[in-house]
Structure 1
Amino acid sequence: MIERKDLGSWMDGAPSEAGHVPGSTWGLPADGPGAVAAAGRRFATLLVDWALASVVSALVFDYESVATLVLFATMNVLLITVFGATPGQFLLRLRVTPVSGRSPMVLRALIRTLLLLLVLPAVIWNRDRQPLHDAVAGTAVVRA
């Protein structure tokens, strides 16, 4: 017979280490500028960026869904490469920063954006509050 203790392990949440500071793997601070951004702020930036792409798509392309997606992807790759942040990230005082590897930022932004468009990598997070698309690209979204 299955007992409660057998089910408790997955119901208790993700495994964590006592005292682990998200981002400490890369030497990022626990709080303040340069600290890993919270999930809520990251989601808000995504909504702002998607809304901006939707408005431009509605004005220029009669809100064609493919055009919206291409605008969103282009905006992400171009603006993260040049400025280190999308309009939504800039508005909410976040930025994308490289944390591992030696790839150029344009390649990081391209990988990050392509995986973000797949959605699933964006919802799988590690203990450092880094979604899979950031982990693969070697980036982290931090407070500016």
Structure 2
Amino acid sequence: MSSRQPRWTQTWLGGVRSAGVDLGHPGERLGLPEHGSGSVAGFGRRLGALVIDWLICAWAITQGLLRIDPTQGSWIPLLVLAAEYILLVGTIGTTLGMRLLGIRVAALGGGRPPFLSVVVRTVLLCLAVPAMIWDRDQRGLHDRTAGTVVVRI
């Protein structure tokens, strides 16, 4: 085998991009721009927004703003987070954490996603595993199932 050609295992382990195939930028298949407003939001912003939202929900519970005893069940903070996502993403397309980091949830056709899509997306997000399975457009399984994409504002 020539030293100039990569071994087949190197291209397989490195993915399609290492084989020299140009897949374009994330979101190109969806008709989204590469940079700026409307482009696909990166993993860091999405994770940061989720952490901010989680901290806001935990703070609201510990401060007694929601009148919920967090010792009564370990599911309470997750249910509060789910309610925040359904309420805010379903009405304005973004949560508090997303807004702070300049991202929002959009339907594939543009605009806010339908309410049922928001509910499906939120349930899958709370399961965590679907959100960790990504495609080349940086959409988690929860976004693919709901027909949504997280974009920059």
Tell me, yes or no, whether TM beats 0.5: yes
CA distance in 2, matches of 1:82, 1:91: 17
Q: Return the TM-score normalized by structure 2.
A: 0.82
Percent identical pairs in the alignment equals 38
Displacement, 1:108?
Answer: 1.0
**CA spacing shift, 1:29–1:58, aligned 2, 3 Å:** same
Deviates more, 1:52-61 or 1:81-90: 52-61
Question: Which ranges of structure 2 fall in alignment gaps of 5 or more residues?
Answer: 1-6
AA aligned to 1:134 is D
Asked which structure has the greater CA Rg, the reply is 2
TM superposition outliers: structure 1 runs of 4+ over 4 Å: none
CA distance in 2, matches of 1:10, 1:55: 46
Q: Return the TM-score normalized by structure 1.
A: 0.87
Q: Is residue 2:126 matched to residue 1:124? A: no
Equivalent position to 1:42, from 38, 42, 46 = 46
Question: Which ranges of structure 1 fall in alignment gaps of 5 or more residues?
Answer: none
What is the aligned partner in structure 1 of residue 35 from structure 2?
31
What is the aligned partner in structure 2 of residue 56 from structure 1?
60
Displacement, 1:59?
Answer: 2.1
What is the aligned partner in structure 2 of residue 87 from structure 1?
96
- Alpha-carbon contact 1:54-1:63 (below 8 Å) kept: no
Displacement, 1:95?
Answer: 0.6
Q: Residue 149 of structure 2 aligns to a residue in which SS? A: strand
What is the aligned partner in structure 1 of residue 105 from structure 2?
96
What is the aligned partner in structure 2 of residue 109 from structure 1?
118
Displacement, 1:69?
Answer: 1.0
Deviates more, 1:91-100 or 1:28-37: 91-100
Q: Give aligned pairs, total.
A: 139
